[in-house]
C-alpha cells in the first residue's frame, strides 16, 4: 500500500522494539521503543536522520560529554557521521519516530572510538 496510517504510540506499545515501518531505496522510517534506563552504544550512521519523541524522555549523549534532552513534541536532526548515544532517561517507556535518508540495506552503523562497523545493537540499562 503506498500510504499507511500508523498510531505511533499504540504501535510502539504493541511491538515494544525498533520496528521499520517504511523502507525504500531513498528513505526509511521506524518506530523506536526503549524501556526506562535502556541505552545503546555511542555510534554514528552514514546517512542523515531525524528523531521525534512521541512519548517519554530521550537524552542524547555526545562524545564531548554534552547532552540534549528531548520530550514529546521535540525532534532532532543529525547529519551523517555525527556520533551520539540514545538513553531513555525517563520513568516511562520512550517511543519515538526515526527517519533516515537511504535504504536500510545501505545504512552503516559505526562505533565511536574504534570505527568498527556495528551489525547488532547492544542495549544496556542504566541503574537508577
Instruction: Give the C-alpha separation, 95 to 11, whole Å.
Output: 9
The residue ranking higher by pLDDT, 126 or 112, is 112
Instruction: Give the C-alpha separation, 111 to 109, whole Å.
Output: 7
Task: Return the pLDDT at 41.
Answer: 94
Lowest mean pLDDT among 66-70, 83-87, 92-96, 115-119: 115-119
Q: Is the pTM of this model over 0.75?
A: yes
Helices (H), 1-126: 8-15
Q: 70: which residues sit within 8 A by CB, 6+ positions away? A: 51, 53, 57, 58, 59, 60, 76
Going across the sheet that includes 27-34, the strands are 19-23, 27-34, 94-101, 49-55, 75-78
Amino acid at each position: 500500500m503506498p500510504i499507511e496510517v500508523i498510531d505511533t504510540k499504540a504501535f510502539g506499545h504493541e511491538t515494544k522494539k525498533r520496528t521499520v515501518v517504511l523502507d525504500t531505496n531513498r528513505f526509511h522510517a521506524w518506530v523506536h521503543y526503549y524501556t526506562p534506563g535502556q541505552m545503546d552504544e555511542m555510534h554514528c550512521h552514514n546517512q542523515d536522520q531525524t528523531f521525534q519523541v512521541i512519548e517519554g524522555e530521550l537524552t542524547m549523549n555526545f562524545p564531548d560529554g554534552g547532552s540534549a534532552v528531548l520530550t514529546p513534541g521535540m525532534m532532532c536532526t543529525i547529519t551523517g557521521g555525527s556520533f551520539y548515544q540514545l538513553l531513555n532517561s525517563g520513568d516511562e517507556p520512550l517511543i519515538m519516530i526515526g527517519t533516515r535518508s537511504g535504504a536500510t540495506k545501505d545504512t552503516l552503523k559505526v562505533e565511536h572510538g574504534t570505527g568498527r562497523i556495528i551489525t547488532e545493537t547492544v542495549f544496556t540499562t542504566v541503574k537508577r
